[in-house]
Amino acid sequence: MSYLSLFALMGGAAIAAQASMNAQLGVLLKNSLIGTTIAFAFSGIFTLIAVIVSTNHYPQPEAIRSVPLYLWFTGGALSAFGVAMFYFLIPKMGVGTMMSFALTGQILIAIIASHFGWFDLPVKHINVVRFSGVVVLIAGILLINWE
């Protein structure tokens, strides 16, 4: 396993842990959107600190102007929606069930995005092996949530 795979695993573990904690924050505050707002506020603060500490040079005005308008807000809107759904659904479904469905949705969209090379990402076409992996993944999700 490469260090990148290890970092990806750690990132996924961090998301599961933070989603659980922030869902609890929303429950205690009796409003999952307030929990989402607080999480994003502190994420913004921590990210800003990391940028200030680690960035030696910032984008030039030409680079800023070249960014399509939709990229300035769509990712944030999707992120807010996804995170709010986590915080709303985890107390109702449980973290394991919610994460299993969320990861399935992520992988399905990722495979489609990779197949078509959306957002100028590397193209990785859907083939029999990848399709079989999706089928096994969905079967695994069904087994995980079997009651």
Residue spans per domain, the chain? 1-92, 94-147
Query: Average pLDDT, stretch 108-126?
Result: 92
pLDDT band at 16 (very low <50, low <70, confident <90, very high): confident
Q: Which residue has the tokens 């999706």?
A: 134
Checking if the pLDDT of 96 tops 90, the result is no
Q: What is the pLDDT of residue 145?
A: 85
Query: Average pLDDT, stretch 113-127?
Result: 92
Query: Average pLDDT, stretch 132-144?
Result: 90
Checking if the pLDDT of 65 tops 80, the result is yes
Q: What is the pLDDT of residue 64?
A: 95
**How high is the mean pLDDT of the chain?**
91
Q: What is the pLDDT of residue 1?
A: 67
Q: Give the span between the Cα atoms of 80 and 22, in whole angstroms.
A: 13
Query: Average pLDDT, stretch 100-123?
Result: 90
- Asked whether 105 and 117 are in contact (CB, 8 A), the reply is no
Residue 112 is encoded by which pair of tokens? 């489609």
Measuring CA to CA, which residue among 96, 104, 87, 85 is closest to residue 147? 96
pTM value is: 0.77
Q: Give the span between the Cα atoms of 116 and 141, in whole angstroms.
A: 25
SS3 58: coil
pLDDT band at 54 (very low <50, low <70, confident <90, very high): very high
Q: Give the span between the Cα atoms of 129 and 132, in whole angstroms.
A: 5
The 8 Å CB, 24+ separation contacts for 94-102 are: 95/16, 95/19, 95/20, 95/23, 96/144, 97/144, 97/145, 98/19, 99/16, 99/19, 100/141, 100/144, 100/145, 101/141, 101/145
Checking if the pLDDT of 126 tops 90, the result is yes
